[in-house]
Chain A
Amino acid sequence: MRRLIVLPWKKSIEIAYKSIRARFFRSLITTLTLVLAVSFLAFSQVSIDIADTMLATGDPSLCQMLLRCGYDILPGDTSLAASPKQRWIITLSLLVCVVGIINAQLMSVTERFREIGTMKCLGALDRFIVRIFVMEATMQGFAGASVGAILGTTSAFLAALFRFGPGTIDLLPWPAIFVSTVTALATGIGLSLLGVLYPAIMAARMQPVEAMRVEQ
């Protein structure tokens, strides 16, 4: 088709980045929600990974230590998978996080109705608008989730060192820890995207005048 309207990826990333920078504190709050949820997720998973390895050594003193730390070990157990209670807490914390993010994104989209209407007057397609918001959410999600994952994993290490002594370093199950950290990271980015999708699509679908009429 000859009548083509474009927005190169590089340009949309640039616009998204500028928007985040221009609204630094708002972005920071959205991101902090994410940091908390992801670090909690990473902490729980990595702690379990470490505890699993301890159990696998079969060392009675380590098992004793695990029991003392509150893990329920039944004879013959080889894995300590999260207890239902723990899973429940993680799920809840993620839910609260999603609601928080949706709230923050809704407000940030509402604040920008006029901007969105203007962009559409200048020829932006609906999907450019969605794309810009998705890019923003991905960047925020990546930043928040990375910090959260690092924070959570590090605290799990420290907690393990503190509980089981310096000898643990040699026993650390690196592959499992890596998987857990990456999973927490991906979950965080996913949540951030989930939070932005609805408000972004809603905003993009408005007629330009409707968007511009909204009082700021």
Chain B
Amino acid sequence: MSEKLIVRVTGLTKDFDLGKIVVKVLKGIDLEIESGKYISIMGPSGSGKSTLFNMIGGLDKPTQGKVFIDEVDIAQLDAYELAWLRCRKIGYIFQTFNLIPVMTALENVTLPMTFAGTPGEEAVSRGMKLLSQVGLVGRHEHKPAELSGGQQQRVAVARALANNPAIILADEPTGNLDLSTGEEIISLLKQLSQEEGTTVISATHDFKMLNVSDQVIWIRDGRVDKIQERADLEIHTGGMSS
């Protein structure tokens, strides 16, 4: 199918200056991610997955190197374009859900649509549709505190989908969920990538993720260790059902 590159990362490094010492977290990462793929980023804790993530998502600035989204260097974007990118092009899912506590499930889902200029009624009806798509019918009036972790993460998934993003960035989306809820979230993401052609990039420790991934990028100590295609994976995992 289309071999279009949606994300390209070249020579990416990130140092954190802690005053006395400088922590080198990313030490030169080069990546090319094709549109429509389901990518998992695996690696031990502290290897720099979240840091890489924040760079790809334009949530933090690299020390060196460049991130291209659709062949546009995001360091060159002004504040408006960057906000537009975060709003329309990328949907974020976090390990800690990060819903807005004072808003209901529906308001959380419609907020990105408000920023995108979607008229109120249209946003509400789309929000309700998304909530039912993630299996939360009848919960739209609930505040995050009244929902379980899994339900909150579903709201977060619905919110990430609000503006039909081209990319979904998920940082350990199943990290705070139990096994079966985690699986449901994963299959939801997989379904999306297949049906809508959304590129899903997900950092994880969760080996369940491997089954659905088209490509697995292993990160070790701030560098890309190896990249496995789905074909290689099936040999190693003995063709697990997906």
Contact = CB atoms under 8 A, between A and B. Distances in A.
A128 B79 CA distance: 12
Contact of A3 (B59, B60, B81): B81
Interface in A109-128: 114-115, 117-126, 128
A152 interface: no
B87 A5 contact: yes
B36 interface: no
A209 interface: yes
**Interface-centre pick from A122, A124, A209 (highest chain B CB count, 10 A):** A122
Nearest to B169: A121
B114 interface: yes
B111 A122 contact: yes
Nearest to B162: A122
Given A123-B88, A125-B79, A208-B59, A5 B102 contact: no
B118 to A, nearest CB: 10
Nearest to B100: A115
Contacts of B99: 118
A123 B98 contact: no
A212 B98 contact: yes
Contacts of B60: 207-210
A123 B86 contact: yes
Contacts of B88: 3, 123
B25 to A, nearest CB: 12
B66 interface: no
A74 interface: no
A6 interface: yes
A4 interface: yes
B116 interface: yes
Interface of A: 1, 3-8, 11, 15, 18-19, 22-23, 114-115, 117-126, 128, 207-210, 212
28 contacts: A3-B84, A3-B88, A4-B80, A5-B83, A6-B114, A7-B114, A7-B115, A15-B103, A18-B102, A18-B103, A23-B102, A115-B101, A115-B102, A117-B98, A118-B98, A118-B100, A121-B98, A122-B86, A122-B87, A122-B111, A122-B112, A123-B83, A123-B112, A123-B115, A207-B60, A208-B59, A209-B59, A209-B60
Interface of B: 54, 57, 59-61, 79-81, 83-84, 86-88, 92, 94, 98-103, 111-112, 114-117, 159
